[in-house]
Amino acid sequence: MKRLVILSLLLWMCAVFYVGIYLFVGGFLLVRLEVNRTSTCEDVLLPAGEQGDFCPAKPRFRRAVLLIIDALRFDFARFDHANTAPRPYENKLPVFEETVSSQPSHSRLYPFRADPPTTTMQRIKGFTTGSLPTFIDVGNNFASSAILEDNLIHQLGQLGKRVVFMGDDTWESLFPKKFYRSLPFPSFNVKDLHTVDNGILQHLYSTVVGDDWDVLVAHFLGVDHCGHRFGPDHPAMADKLTQMDGVIRSVMERLQNDTLLVVMGDHGMTDTGDHGGESQKETDAALFLYSPSPLFSGPPSKSEPQVVPQTDLVPTLALQLGVPIPYSSVGQVLLPLFPPHGQMKGALEGLSQVEALWINVKQVNRFLETYSSMAKDIPPESLSKLQEQFSHVSTEYLTAVKNGLSPSPELVVSLQSYLTSVRETCRATWARFNPLKMAAGLAILLFACVLCFILSELSCLLVRESSLLKAPVVAALSIGFCVAAGQLFARGYVEVAWCLAATAIVSELLVLWRVHRVKASTALGNGAKAPKRAGWLSLHRLVTPALLVLLLRGASLLSDSYVIAEGRVVTFLIFSLGLYVPIHLNWDGLLLPANHDPLKPVGLLPAPALSPSAIRKESCTLLACLGLLVGSLYLSLSFHNCREEQGSCQPSPFLFPLSRLQNSQLKNLHYILSLASIGLWTYLLRRWLRHYGNLNSSGGAVFTARWILPLLSICLGLNWAVGATPEDSFRSMAELLSVAQVALPRTIFSLLGLGMLLLWLDPITVFLKTRASAPARSSNLPPPRYRASTGISTQAELHHLIPQIYQRMRRNLEEDDEPGEGAEADGRPAVEAYGLGTVYSAPQLLFCGLLGMGLLLLHAEGMALSFLLLLLEMGALLHIHASSTTLSSLHGTHYGGFNVPWTPVVLWSLAATQFFHATGHLPTFPSIQWGAAFVGFPGGHTGTILPASLVTLNTFSSHILFAVGCPLLLFWPLVCEVRGNRRVGGEDGEDAVMEMRLRENPQQFSSALLQLSTRYLFIHGTQVFASVCAAAILRRHLMVWKVFAPKLMFEASGFLVTSVFLLIGITLVMRVDVAVGGWFKRLIPEASR
Amino acid sequence: MWDQEIRAMASTHAILASTVFVATVAPKVLLRGFSVYGTHLLWMYCMAGAVGVVNVSVFWLLGISPPTKKHTVGYKLSRLVRSCLYLFLSCLFFHTVVVLYGAPLIESAVETFSLAVLLTSLTTLRCLCVLGPNVQAWIRVFSRHGAMSVWDTSLQITTGTTVIGAWLGAFPIPLDWDRPWQVWPVSCSMGSVIGFVSGLVAAPTWIHYHRKQLTYKCK
């Protein structure tokens, strides 16, 4: 067996996939670390700050009103007198234009530029923290969406300002319990234009007039929802904007002199009403500032900013209201709102421009220092440049202050330019997709999928080429190093992503070329006919229902509705493909025994390899297993969890841990059900092993199956019982219970570890029985006492004792070594091997069973039922595959070798996704079952690796089980082979049976194993590729951050886990192969003595 | 002989296709408030009934059905009873399959069953007309070499397209477009009818172009 070739090819394939995923994700998902520090009024900002840098002076405004109109694009707010035929969204907000022209020193209208991603939640985060939120802000808690970074709302609360909020309920989840008063309204239904707005309007005016607030935030959603529903170019938009015009006017009338009014849009929208991306129509919103008292020192001058970045609102509002600027803000104060130095007149009090800028600069510099000490994602050379700029500016400012000079206008400009460059650096790091990286990742993944397919189709050729990979990988690695050296030379630092990309692409191309050469050379060897036939076959092979189903599955990942309904979609596809199996067999006339024409002479036809009754039995098995498959598919639907997008959906009652159930009768019922399923799980596994005679010997694997497996299930049952006990019911045993809560899971973990170790060390489950010498036993049956003790029926014994193999090997050996001793060879077997027919599949199955038990520990108790269904469905799929292989091998349609066709592999991998959903998981972040991290560790953890791996194991348990069990697809047709179907010939009795055939043909075994694993990888790889495509194509879609990006993350991590555990499964097969080889070597000299 | 059979089949199929058309249009003219989406159940039963009646009468007139061996009343009666039983069982079968495919179990059981009735009248009834109440023959027909006449081949094609049409009809259901035809079971039943009609069109065409390759065993 070519272990090294298979493993290296698979490892290389996985590595290429990983690089592709890494590159794409690096360009698509922007990651930023959250700085969990807060500013306070007493902060002294280095260098050489005065006493209390923040809030030194009396605030300019006592109160502020923030009216946020979601998706208020800048051109909605403009008013154009020349436009006589305005579109529905134009000229509907004349209030801005009228106020700006009539009261120029009281108001301004600016374009307000948001940073991508332009989705509401990210924007709210942006204009309250002053930072640039990315898709993943790595913070303290992943589970809830509350903002933990320092933000404006927090600062206002710190200083005792009463913040009143009304509108979009996203705020309530972002700032739980931060508001003095809060009136949230549901924002989820995009088709509902009025609920939120009317809710706000009921309370807004009375609140504004009243006196129990300092900051009022009102978030209107009507415009945004109108855009999503109808698009901007629709009469409904005109009505909505006109309504908003009225609202702004009424609020302005009710304002008092000490109040600042800010009207703003959080983002814009495209012409179809969507947002999320980075086009100018999506990023440019409107910002309108107004106060009844003069706000600006004069009418708009030339130095007015053209565009106000969204982050600038935070420091401006903070300094105007007299609160510290939030710690991680990177914004810049809006200068026109501050008077120039030395022009402070009565009404315009507060900070001057230079003072405000100086505070701002110091705060930004402090944040930059903190951040760069925590994370390394800001390029070092731009950091040092910024540092230099800061020291230059600060010395200039400090000398100016020390000398009592009024700071020059140049100083203002250089302070501003420092802030701008910090912002730009952060933007480049956090808030921009990297299309080049995304494209490179896509290309690598596409190539990897194509290569995977080619490898699987040509596996029998490639297994022979032992040096297929060496040269390409070496060449590619050296090119990667060259790229690294070039980068080091040209830019002074190395960007690992591009080196990896170069390596991956070069190695892919070289391997493709090598494969082409290998194929061409074999085609030459086979004569001219081969290439033509191969070309036709490959096209014909591509359009099979199995690959069509895979295509449908990939296409379904491109639509948000299908991703939301993924669990059902996958079940539907499995069901369709499952039904296709018998229909296809019937179409080929294989399902039913052929009708014999009584008129035709029987002798002329070749005798059927299998009797009609055997065919009928096989067909019945197939249909029964199909029934089992369908049944478990249908039942598995009742274990699904619910996404928030699915309105009228109830999560499965089995998802909750038992301790949450109040009704004790129901609790008992659930507990008994779970116990029964875990018992059945153990029983079925042991039953199978016993049936094939794998429970007789005394090795490590058998010990595991005999003792550790039942012990594990008992521990699991006890653990559930302990977990489900109400806390107050057994006061006296409270301590014992708490000990048990820790000890039981840990026992299970260690038992599992022990079991796996034993399985790895001694995977052979074959029992040897040496019989009495030949003449004495030739007519004797084995003694009945012996049979009873091993639990093997006579029939099973006839089927599964494998004396022949041993006998044949012995004879070979004798012919080679001791040609003289022919007499003893006539003595027929002196040794019988029990369980040799399932020597490969028994450890594999046992490993799956153990692993399943361990993974079940990490789930809620009710999931035991679902795990049982998983086992049953696995069995059903395997039997369907085995029966269809048997039936089609009858008529010679099943071409030789042990190759596993596409249909079972596709079914197998779809079932992995199906049970991902049927074990209560969803591809969304809030649905991750965090409780799994605390199984066995109720007190929490110190590190992050252990809880992270526990949660990963919990989330991808079905992927793990199906990946480890994947080689079973190769073994099962051999395990279930029907005796009669082998050729009637001279050497029938000598032929190897069941899995020993694999040992007889190591070449075919290797190629089949390689083919199976590359096919499995290909199927998962295409799914990753499809979700990557979805994320790349739909990056402007409304649902990109809610549906597609999480789906991509889950699909990619699922692939990672799958590939790792597939490799583990393959390695186990190889381990068994080595062990079997050693066993034979040991056995034969011994017995021939 | 070929041309004659194909022509007979083409005209039969034309009659069936026009029945489908009439069953959609006629109630709209005759009944007030009838629409395919609004009163979908009514449309489905109209379609099932019309196609069923036309199928039976056409095949009876043409005499396609396999010749019966006995001509006693009792034998004919037992065949009739068996046919009815098979039709009912086929409705139940389709209902089960559709539910297993993910249709709601209890909520819209009437709609699901109506779909099963429609599918039965489009597929099983034709089997019954062509092959008689003989399940073995039905299973045999759907294999590569199972067709024994032009009618068997056309039966293969129309049944396949009807089922595939119904299967494809399930695809738009999860989409969030909020169209009236996305409501269960409108898209599936329309898919099956469209599949049926396209099968009616496709069968004579396909047979016409492949008549050289087609060889039927004599019974």
Q: Does A888 touch chain B (CB under 8 A)?
A: no
Low pLDDT (below 50) residues in chain B: 218-219
**Which residue in chain B has the smallest CA separation from A229?**
B177
Q: Which of B100, B170, B174 sits opposite A630 (nearest CB)?
A: B100
Rounded Cα distance, A746 and A63, in Å? 57
Residues A432, A115 contacting (CB under 8 angstroms): no
Longest dimension (CA), chain A: 124
- Which residues does A759 contact at the CB level (< 8 Å), separation at least 6? A700, A701, A704, A843, A846, A847, A850, A1068
**Which residue in chain A has the smallest CA separation from B170?**
A572
Helical spans, DSSP H, in B63-108: 73-100
- Which residues does A157 contact at the CB level (< 8 Å), separation at least 6? A163, A178
Task: Name every chain B residue with its beta carbon within 8 A of the beta carbon of A572.
Answer: 101-102, 170
| Pairing between β-strand A181-185 and β-strand A215-220 as defined by DSSP bridges | unpaired
The encoded tokens of residue A444 equal: 């690598």
**Which residue in chain B has the smallest CA separation from A574?**
B101
Which pLDDT does position B63 carry in this prediction? 73
Hey, what's the torsion of the CAs at B102, B106, B111, B112, to 10 degrees?
40
Q: Is the peptide bond before A117 cis (omega within 30 degrees of 0)?
A: yes
**Which residue in chain B has the smallest CA separation from A645?**
B176
Q: In this complex, do A572 and B170 lie within 8 Å of one another by their Cβ atoms?
A: yes
Ramachandran angles phi, psi of A557, nearest 5°:
-75, -10
Longest dimension (CA), chain B: 58
ipTM: 0.94
Rounded Cα distance, A758 and A703, in Å? 8
CA atoms within 13 A on the CB side of A998: 32
CB pairs under 8 A between A and B: 40
User: Can you say how many angstroms the Cα of residue A1006 is from the centroid of all Cα atoms in its chain?
Assistant: 31
Q: In this complex, do B174 and A575 lie within 8 Å of one another by their Cβ atoms?
A: no
Exposed, middle or buried by CB within 10 Å (0-12, 13-18, 19+), for A794?
A: exposed
Residues A219, A68 contacting (CB under 8 angstroms): yes
Q: Does B145 touch chain A (CB under 8 A)?
A: yes
Closest CA to A67 of A162, A165, A150: A165
| Pairing between β-strand A767-770 and β-strand A163-168 as defined by DSSP bridges | unpaired
Place of tokens 């019911």: A729
Q: Testing the interface with B: which of A572, A583, A648 to mutate, by most B Cβ within 10 A? A: A572
Q: Testing the interface with A: which of B167, B176, B187 to mutate, by most A Cβ within 10 A? A: B176
- 8-state DSSP, B97: H
Q: Does A565 touch chain B (CB under 8 A)?
A: yes
Task: Name every chain A residue with its beta carbon within 8 A of the beta carbon of B176.
Answer: 560-561
Closest CA to A71 of A185, A232, A189: A232
Using alpha carbons only, how large is chain A's radius of gyration in Å? Answer: 36
Q: Does B104 touch chain A (CB under 8 A)?
A: no
Q: How far off is chain B from A561, nearest CA to CA, in Å?
A: 5
Q: Does B142 touch chain A (CB under 8 A)?
A: yes
Put simply, the chain A residues between 582 and 621 with a CB less than 8 A from any chain B CB are: 583, 586-589, 591-592
Task: Name every chain A residue with its beta carbon within 8 A of the beta carbon of B146.
Answer: 589
Residues A197, A242 contacting (CB under 8 angstroms): no
Exposed, middle or buried by CB within 10 Å (0-12, 13-18, 19+), for B99?
A: middle
Q: Is the peptide bond before A763 cis (omega within 30 degrees of 0)?
A: no
Task: Name every chain A residue with its beta carbon within 8 A of the beta carbon of B140.
Answer: 592
- Which residues does A445 contact at the CB level (< 8 Å), separation at least 6? A17, A20, A21, A24, A1021, A1024, A1025, A1028
What is the per-residue DSSP string for A236-300? Answer: HHHHHHHHHHHHHHHHHHH--TTEEEEEE-S----TTS--SS-SHHHHEEEEEEE-SS--SSSS-
Q: Does A634 touch chain B (CB under 8 A)?
A: yes
Task: Name every chain B residue with its beta carbon within 8 A of the beta carbon of A589.
Answer: 143-146
Q: Does B146 touch chain A (CB under 8 A)?
A: yes
Put simply, the chain A residues between 19 and 48 with a CB less than 8 A from any chain B CB are: none
**Which residue in chain A has the smallest CA separation from B100?**
A634
Q: Which of B142, B167, B174 sits opposite A561 (nearest CB)?
A: B174
A273: left (phi over 0), alpha (psi -120 to 50) or beta: left
The encoded tokens of residue B168 equal: 């494809």
Task: Name every chain A residue with its beta carbon within 8 A of the beta carbon of B139.
Answer: 586, 591-592
Low pLDDT (below 70) residues in chain A: 1, 44-57, 134-144, 188, 190, 277, 341-350, 405-407, 431-432, 525-541, 594-610, 727-730, 769-832, 891-896, 978-993, 1036, 1084-1089
Task: Name every chain A residue with its beta carbon within 8 A of the beta carbon of B142.
Answer: 583, 586-587
Measure the N-to-C terminal CA separation of chain A; round to a whole number of Å: 28
Which pLDDT does position A804 carry in this prediction? 45
Q: Testing the interface with A: which of B97, B98, B100 to mutate, by most A Cβ within 10 A? A: B100
Q: How far off is chain A from B90, nearest CA to CA, in Å?
A: 17
Please report which helix (H) or strand (E) contains residue A786, including its range. Answer: helix A784-790
The encoded tokens of residue A213 equal: 């607030």
Q: In this complex, do A561 and B175 lie within 8 Å of one another by their Cβ atoms?
A: yes
Q: How far off is chain A from B174, nearest CA to CA, in Å?
A: 6
- 8-state DSSP, A942: S
The encoded tokens of residue A959 equal: 């992927």
Task: Name every chain A residue with its beta carbon within 8 A of the beta carbon of B99.
Answer: 634
Task: Name every chain B residue with its beta carbon within 8 A of the beta carbon of A634.
Answer: 99-100
CA atoms within 13 A on the CB side of A303: 13
Q: In this complex, do B144 and A589 lie within 8 Å of one another by their Cβ atoms?
A: yes
Q: In this complex, do B100 and A634 lie within 8 Å of one another by their Cβ atoms?
A: yes
Rounded Cα distance, A454 and A179, in Å? 60
User: Can you say how many angstroms the Cα of residue A687 is from the centroid of all Cα atoms in its chain?
Assistant: 36
Ramachandran angles phi, psi of A73, nearest 5°:
-70, 155
Share in percent of chain A as helix, strand, coil (round to 5)? 60, 5, 35
- Which residues does A666 contact at the CB level (< 8 Å), separation at least 6? none
| Pairing between β-strand A284-290 and β-strand A107-113 as defined by DSSP bridges | antiparallel
| Identity of the residue numbered A881 | H
